[in-house]
Amino acid sequence: MDSIDKPFDNQKKVKEFCEICMKEPFISVDTEFLRTNTYFSKLCLIQLANSNTAIIIDALAVKNLEPLEKLLSCEDVIKVFHSPRQDIEIFYNLFKKLPKNIFDTQIAASFLGETEQISYEKLVEKYLNIKINKNNQFCNWAKRPLNYSQINYALSDVTYLREIYVKLSYQLSKLKRLDWATEESQKFLDIKLYQQNPSL
């Protein structure tokens, strides 16, 4: 898979990539954000990967993310996340609507006997035999320019996620449990989870 190591900073590139993704059976999705001294998360990056390419959208530079909203709302494309509660909250606050047709690899792994809260890092290590360098996990994602290590870390969140999804869905299909994982993943699409009032 190709990875574009220069974050997309304009709507034209985002639109072109999202249009390609609309033809895919599934994409992987992740975000990087800050939640220090603020009630709502400050979205900094959005990572997407399709069958050929992984990209980063600089959410601080691209102000119009309508192409991404359209992609996330597409029923025909599975959106693969790992433990998506915070990511979906961000998208809900951004677009005032929820994504459609999501799949959570954390839930999927639980149907294969893993602990319910298994981390992304542990899944990558178990299923891909790769250890993720977590040095950038809590870095300042709002600082620009991003360095090489940050970019690689952000891209790995969606490139490995695609591979894990393929492996998990294959094993779940053999056990006739894929529908269970898909159905249970939709629990994150309860709008009540994200309708919060910070004044309360």
Helix H, strand E, coil C: the string for 125-175 is HHHHCCCCCHHHCCCCCCCCCCCHHHHHHHHHHHHHHHHHHHHHHHHHHHC
In the annotation, is 153 catalytic?
yes
Residue reference for tokens 């992740």: 30
The active-site residue, picked from 92, 120, 127, 153, is 153
List the catalytic residue out of 30, 58, 89, 104. 30
Q: Over 80: is that where the pLDDT of 127 sits?
A: yes
Which residues have a Cβ under 8 Å from the Cβ of 51 and sit 6 or more positions away? 1, 24, 162
Residue 48 tokens read as 């997407």
pLDDT of residue 138: 82
Q: Any catalytic annotation for residue 9?
A: no
Sign of CA dihedral 36, 41, 42, 48: positive
Distance CA 46, CA 8 (A): 10
Q: What are the pLDDT digits (tens) for 29-39?
A: 999 999 766 66
- Active site (annotated) includes residue 2: no
Task: Please tell me which residue in 89, 114, 157, 165 is annotated as part of the active site.
Answer: 157
* Higher per-residue confidence, 3 vs 120: 120
30: β partners: 47
pLDDT tens sequence across 182-191: 999 999 999 9
Catalytic residue among 58, 87, 89, 114: 87
CA neighbor of 4 nearest in space, from 199, 158, 132: 158
- Binned at pLDDT 50, 70 and 90, residue 81 comes out as very high
pLDDT at residue number 133: 83
**Cis geometry, peptide bond prior to residue 145 (ω within 30 degrees of 0):** yes
179: annotated active-site residue? no
